[in-house]
Amino acid sequence: MVLYQIQLDFPQIAKLPNGRPSQNRVSSMAYEQVALSETLVEGQGIEVIWQGNVIAVFRHGGVLYAIDGICMHQGGPLARGKLCQGTIECPWHGWTYDLKTGNNTATCQPMLSSYRVREQAGKIEIDFGT
């Protein structure tokens, strides 16, 4: 269940080829507010759109995580997936990814980008830099 979805108004830089998230990142470190802290409850995810990319943000075990939000298998919405022991399971076909690294847990191969995320002054912010 997506609890909160926002569209951030930034210039379009990267496009989503074939519905897959772009692996391009902005070159400078910059935290951007993506949600209010109260919108992200423990054990659930939210989906945000940033420069045409879907990002899934999770609160799991009291820690915030942010990874690309589209499953590499068939484009399932990861923010709607099941969290379990530091992983997210795609709700469509069960592919799982490590929340810290974005690696597919079956192959240990990097598949999704992960982002630094912080919470301060009641806001959730993601570092979209490299």
Q: What is the pTM of this model?
A: 0.77
Is residue 11 situated within a structural domain?
Answer: no
Q: Looking at the predicted structure, is the pLDDT value of residue 27 above 90? A: no
Q: Looking at the predicted structure, is the pLDDT value of residue 30 above 50? A: yes
Could you report the per-residue pLDDT of 11-23, keeping only the tens digit for each?
Answer: 332 333 444 444 4
Tell me the mean pLDDT in the region 96-123. Answer: 96
pLDDT number for residue 100: 97
Is residue 5 situated within a structural domain?
Answer: no
Alpha carbon distance 28, 42 (integer Å): 30
Q: Looking at the predicted structure, is the pLDDT value of residue 24 above 60? A: no
CATH of the domain at 70: 2.102.10.10
- Looking at the DSSP bridge assignments, the partners of residue 57 are 46, 66
Alpha carbon distance 99, 7 (integer Å): 22
Alpha carbon distance 101, 20 (integer Å): 18
Greatest Cα pair distance in the chain: 38
Alpha carbon distance 62, 24 (integer Å): 29
Task: Label residue 28 by pLDDT band (50, 70, 90).
Answer: low
Is residue 90 situated within a structural domain?
Answer: yes
Is residue 80 situated within a structural domain?
Answer: yes
How open is the CA angle 46-49-51, to the nearest 5 degrees? 155
Helices vs strands, H then E, count in the chain: 0, 10
CA atoms within 13 Å, Cβ hemisphere of 40? 29
**What's the total number of domains in the chain?**
1
Is residue 49 situated within a structural domain?
Answer: yes
Is residue 46 situated within a structural domain?
Answer: yes
62: left (phi over 0), alpha (psi -120 to 50) or beta: left
Could you report the per-residue pLDDT of 63-87, keeping only the tens digit for each?
Answer: 999 999 999 999 999 999 999 999 9
Is residue 19 situated within a structural domain?
Answer: no
Residue 73 belongs to domain spanning? 30-127
Is residue 18 situated within a structural domain?
Answer: no
Write out the two tokens for 79: 């923010």
